[in-house]
Amino acid sequence: MFVCGKPAIGIQFLGCCASAVCEDHAERYILSLAPGERLKSGSCTFVRYSLDEISGNEK
């Protein structure tokens, strides 16, 4: 998946809004996650795509 012309590295849910994000537009929380990890913080959730999801080889 591409966003803003760059590959998406994850998805961030900020309250009721969700966005697939590239490395340039991701919040610092998602950048700190390892591939496949997720973080819940209050009403926000950050999901870093696994390497398979990023490369398009979903299992």
In this predicted model, which residue has the larger pLDDT, 43 or 1?
A: 43
- Domain locations in the chain as residue ranges: 2-54
The pLDDT score that the predictor gives to residue 52 is 79
d(CA 57, CA 21): 19
The pLDDT score that the predictor gives to residue 53 is 74
Q: 10 with 21: CB under 8 angstroms?
A: yes
How does pLDDT run across 4-55, given as a tens digit for each residue? Answer: 889 999 999 999 999 999 999 999 999 999 999 999 999 999 999 998 776 6
pTM: 0.80
